[in-house]
Structure formats: structure tokens, C-alpha cells
Amino acid sequence: RPHSCPRHPGARTMLPLLLLLLATAHGLNTIRYTPTLASSSLGGLITASTFTLEQPRCVFSEDPGNPVIWLVVAVPEAVPTFNDSVEPGSPERAFQRFPGSAPAYMTLNTTLLNYPCPKRPGDITVLRVGSETSCTKDGTRPTCNGPLPGPGPYRVKFISLNGSVPVEQTAWSEPITLRTAQPLSDIPAMGSGHSAGMITLTSILSILFAILLAGLVAMLVFWGSDTYGGSSTFSKPEAVTVRRYNTHHVYDQPAARL
């Protein structure tokens, strides 16, 4: 009677185990550390062409071979197929060809001496990716830490190499997207409407001016039809004039005065 061979119960876990064995056979140990951006209190944490990472302090273990720790910057599409054994500085990993013909580049190489553990409290331990502008177009410097060509997103990881053999690596970071500047024509230039103070001022002044003009008109009309003094007018203090009466001539009569 035919019987199907029952599948080995551990078959599903075989494949990942094999892969892990393969990885450790190469000697590449993946550390449980994810590169993160530095503290958000930094004003220049992410700009249009640079970003700043926390240094990987107390992450890599001491190795007698004194490996060199590199930073890998890649576009997210290159992450699943990333080949750890490609040497840094090769055309496949040249900054100047990123992201066109080189989907990832390696830069910021240093030894563990520069990442002392434990970190001194109060120290700002950051790595600014994109700060070297002098070698952006220099083909002889493929490991240039040049400004990133676009807003990304990008994913990074740290990898330590003994010669050209990878020893340890961190996990890949979350995608990092850089800033995009808005065109300045987007800024609305016209201000807000009129404030209450200005409206009050204008209306009160206009009313007062109108009253004054009305008063002036009334004054001039009054002056035009000025025929009587009224009981409340007052006389100016005048000098006393002496009228001369010529008693001998009847014709010389003093003219009638008000």
C-alpha cells in the first residue's frame, strides 16, 4: 500500500537555519541594533541633502583583527539583494555613481577606536552623512561622504570588515526621507485684513473732521448773515473816541452810528 512519506516536522525551520549557518559560516554576525537618527533637538538633523545618525557606540564587539566599520547607504530597493562581500571603493559602491549605477555606497570608515564605549555623558556623538562637499564629483574618492543627491528615502546600516571579509553588521534602518524645499512663490504675501484699531481710528477721526467742517460752514453762514450782535455778544475793549461837535455849523451832523 503506497504511503506518502510524512514530512519531517522540522522542515519549515530547516531553511532559515541553513541560511543562518551559511551566514555564520562566512563569519558575518548580525547585531540586534538599528541605526537611528540622532536626537531631534539638533536643528540640522535632516536637511535637503544631509542627515545625522547616532554613532554606533557599544554596538560592535572587540575583535583582535581590528576591523574597519563602514556605513552603507542604500536605496530601499537595493536592501533585499544587498551583497555584503562587495568591497567598498569598488565601482558598484562608489558614491559618485549613486543612485544610478550603484544602488548603495559605503563611506565614513573608521575603527572601533573612534567609537569608545561607554559613551561619555554630555558628549554629542553623531555622524553627519553628506558633509563632504569637496569630493562630490571626484571619481578618485569613491568613499566620499558627499551630500545625498535627492530627498530619498534611504536606508543605512553599519558593517565591519576585516580586510575585505565582513565580520559584523547591524540591521537596516528605517527609511530616512530628507526635506524637500517648497518654492518660495508659495508664500502668501498679502497680509491679514484690517485690524479693529485701524477701523476705530479712521471712523472716529472722520466723524470729528466732519463735525469741524460743519462747524466751519455754520460759522461762515453766520458771518454772512451777521446783522445783529445778540444779547450774549461782548464788546471788545476799545479806545474811547471823542467826537467833535461843531456847534456853529448846522450841516455838520455826526453820521448815525449803531
Give contact residues for another protein (rule: CB under 8 A): 41-45, 47-50, 52, 124, 126, 128, 130-131, 133, 146-147, 179, 181-184, 186-189, 191-195, 197-198, 201-202, 204-206, 208-209, 211-213, 215-216, 218-219, 222-223, 226, 229, 232-236
Q: Which residue has the cell 553588521?
A: 169
Q: How far is CA 204 from CA 17, 171, 216, 217, 231, in A?
A: 87, 71, 18, 20, 35
Minimum distance from residue 241 beta carbon to another protein (Å): 16
Q: Which is nearer to another protein, 6 or 224 (CB)?
A: 224
Minimum distance from residue 77 beta carbon to another protein (Å): 24
C-alpha cell at 196: 479693529
Minimum distance from residue 151 beta carbon to another protein (Å): 11
Question: Are 161 and 167 spatial neighbours (Cβ–Cβ below 8 Å)?
Answer: yes
Q: Which is nearer to another protein, 64 or 183 (CB)?
A: 183
Q: Using alpha carbons only, give the angle 166, 170, 174 rounded to the nearest 5 degrees.
A: 135
Q: Which is nearer to another protein, 237 or 254 (CB)?
A: 237
3-state secondary structure of 172: coil
Long-range contacts, stretch 32-38, CB < 8 angstroms, 24+ apart = 32/171, 33/59, 33/158, 33/170, 33/171, 34/170, 34/171, 34/172, 34/173, 34/174, 35/156, 35/157, 35/158, 35/170, 35/171, 35/173, 36/173, 37/176, 38/124, 38/126
Minimum distance from residue 18 beta carbon to another protein (Å): 44
Q: Which is nearer to another protein, 18 or 213 (CB)?
A: 213
Minimum distance from residue 217 beta carbon to another protein (Å): 10
Q: Which is nearer to another protein, 7 or 120 (CB)?
A: 120
Q: Which is nearer to another protein, 35 or 166 (CB)?
A: 35
C-alpha cell at 147: 551630500
- Residue 216's Cβ-count burial label (10 Å; 0-12, 13-18, 19+) is exposed
Q: Which is nearer to another protein, 235 or 247 (CB)?
A: 235
Minimum distance from residue 94 beta carbon to another protein (Å): 18
Minimum distance from residue 115 beta carbon to another protein (Å): 18
Q: How far is CA 5 from CA 69, 99, 173, 207, in A?
A: 49, 50, 43, 105
Question: Are 91 and 102 spatial neighbours (Cβ–Cβ below 8 Å)?
Answer: yes
